[in-house]
Homo-oligomer: A and B are copies of this chain.
Amino acid sequence: MYNKYNCLVAQSGGPTAVINSSLYGVIMEASKSNLIGKIYGGLNGIEGIINDKIIDILSIPYDKLKLIRFSPAAALGSCRYKLKDFKEDDTDYKKLIEIFKKYNIKFFFYIGGNDSMDAADKINHYAKEQGFEIQVIGIPKTVDNDLVFTDHCPGFGSAAKYIATTTLELALDAEVYETKTINVMEVMGRNAGWLTASSALAGEKMPYLKQLIYLPEVPFNEEKFLDDVYKAHKEYGNVFITVSEGIVDEKGDYVAKRENAYAKDAFGHTQLGGVGDYIESIIKEKIYKRVKMTRLGVTQRSAMHFASKVDFDEAEILGREAVKYALNGETGKMIGLIRESNNPYSVKIGFIELNKVSNHEKKIPMQWINSEGNHITKEFLEYARPLILGEVNIPIVDGIPYYTNFKYAM
């Protein structure tokens, strides 16, 4: 009999509709391996692991466990916890190694975004320095789609599909009245406009729709903006404006002017929200009164009820491939997707050192943004279109999705 080691999987950062599909992939692939004994789940990311909040995933009946896959939000819970540099303070790292030893963990899979890859990288380096053998593999997820190296991030396609669909529904609704409407939709995305731009996947289907798109990649100039809106409204009547919560002015300051706009999270990131109110108010003051503002909030990252099948499947595949890769002895890498072709859509699996991913942000290339800075080009559409294809057949009870997490499943 093999000398079995255990594996640990955890989730971190803002959840997505398909983050549990990656988790499911890890669980299913790990459970097939003769080299892996128990599969542990760390609750609330590294913050929970440090505090010994560990569950034995396979002790959950499979009929409950399999439903995790169809649920949005992070089934294991998440955290926004910043690990200090271990050269300055290794308290957390010592605790982590203790936990790894306690549970005989040799494989650690961390599903998350930028900050999670940073944490995984630090843990991997610390373990090496201490001579503690562990394979650490990062699995990307983020609706923001801002991780470098990977062609796109699981979670983005589903959020993009929901945003495009909502754009369609709001824009069509505006067409029913003779009185014209300026729609303003505020979309998530801290410093990258991928999600905001995905609203154009609806616009390309509506030849009568005049759409304006404002991204964090282009400095926001209020005068130019008002001029855009004035002209668009004058010529077309109805105008659909999609604006990123993260737009910045020429000085690089966030435009959002709400009282709470400058609160900071644990990583020192400015917590955004409120730019829609601001945009609404300046249009009403300067141009036209009938403005409808929609703030989808976290529905964008949790709308599993209309997730992308491509996204859902890729999320699972990355979870599975991460396990295979770790079993081959690799560590300190993030798994990702490399695009081979747009049409037919084709991707292959790739890997990169965690430290090449953490603390970088991938923005929309400037050549994919129109010269006016208020829309995107067909290159973006060709990139994004394949990522929103297909629907997921989710379980439904009494007319609404059946969602669960480990708290509900146990």
Chain A residues within 8 Å of B, Cβ to Cβ? 11, 15, 44, 47-48, 71-74, 77-80, 161, 164-166, 168-170, 172-173, 175-178, 201-202, 205-208, 260, 263, 277, 284, 289, 292-299, 301-306, 308, 385, 388-391, 396-403, 405, 407-408
Contact = CB atoms under 8 A, between A and B. Distances in A.
A173 B78 CA distance: 10
User: Copy number of this protein in the oligomer?
Assistant: 2
Contacts of A173: 15, 72-73, 298, 301-302
A258 to B, nearest CB: 10
B169 A299 contact: yes
Contacts of A178: 44, 47-48, 77, 79
A155 to B, nearest CB: 13
18 contacts: A73-B169, A74-B176, A78-B176, A79-B177, A79-B178, A164-B399, A165-B305, A169-B298, A208-B407, A293-B295, A294-B297, A305-B306, A308-B399, A385-B398, A388-B398, A388-B399, A389-B398, A390-B399
Given A79-B178, A168-B403, A297 B305 contact: no
Contacts of A47: 178
Given A170-B299, A385-B398, 7 more contacts: A44-B176, A77-B176, A169-B299, A172-B403, A201-B398, A207-B408, A296-B296
A388 B396 CA distance: 11
A271 to B, nearest CB: 10
